[in-house]
Amino acid sequence: MWNAVIIISILGTIAHFMYEISGPNKFIALFAAVNESTWEHIKIAMTPSLLWGLYDGFVYGTNPNYFPAKTLSLLMIIFIIPTVFYSYKAIFKKSTLWVDIPLFYFAIICSQLVFYHIIGLPPVTFIYEYLGTVGLFVIFGNYMVLTLQPFENFIFEDPISKKYGKEAHSNITKK
């Protein structure tokens, strides 16, 4: 489990800066943070988690619990990051980097704990395996759509530029 946490954390940290480093590259924008919105921080935890799915799918893919485990582990990221972020921001009236960074890693750790816990449970029935598979495709599809066409609401809004998606990126807003 800790190998997964370390690799996902490193790749997620790289994904935070990759769009800026890439020039900004439109393909990289699908997988890396393009601004400082909450969504982009969810995305940089999800991208390496989905990539890690190539490895753990190879290792655990025949386990009937694999798809429910992967789906629920991704949902943990989607739930934890905005819930904790907006909760502490409501209490303290601002966000701080010294909380945001550990929150990112906390979400990854919780995600992997859920994954490995579910993988170790007795086999689920076909319906749960099916729902897990459908859920994974729904998450991935929404991940792509929301990256290309973000909603205009607070989760997708860049707190610096007050814009959404790639248009909120600092290189674009300065021009």
Domains of the chain, by residue range, sit at 2-173
User: What is the reported pTM?
Assistant: 0.89
pLDDT > 80? residue 174: no
pLDDT tens sequence across 102-141: 999 999 999 999 999 999 999 999 999 999 999 999 999 9
Question: In which band, very low, low, confident or very high, does the pLDDT at 173 lie, cut at 50, 70 and 90?
Answer: very low
Instruction: Give φ, ψ of 108 to 5 degrees.
Output: -65, -45
Tokens of 103: 């929150």
More confident residue, 172 or 3: 3
pLDDT band, residue 155 (cuts 50/70/90):
very high
Does the pLDDT at position 1 exceed 90? no
What are the φ and ψ backbone dihedral angles of 164, each rounded to 5 degrees? Answer: -130, 150
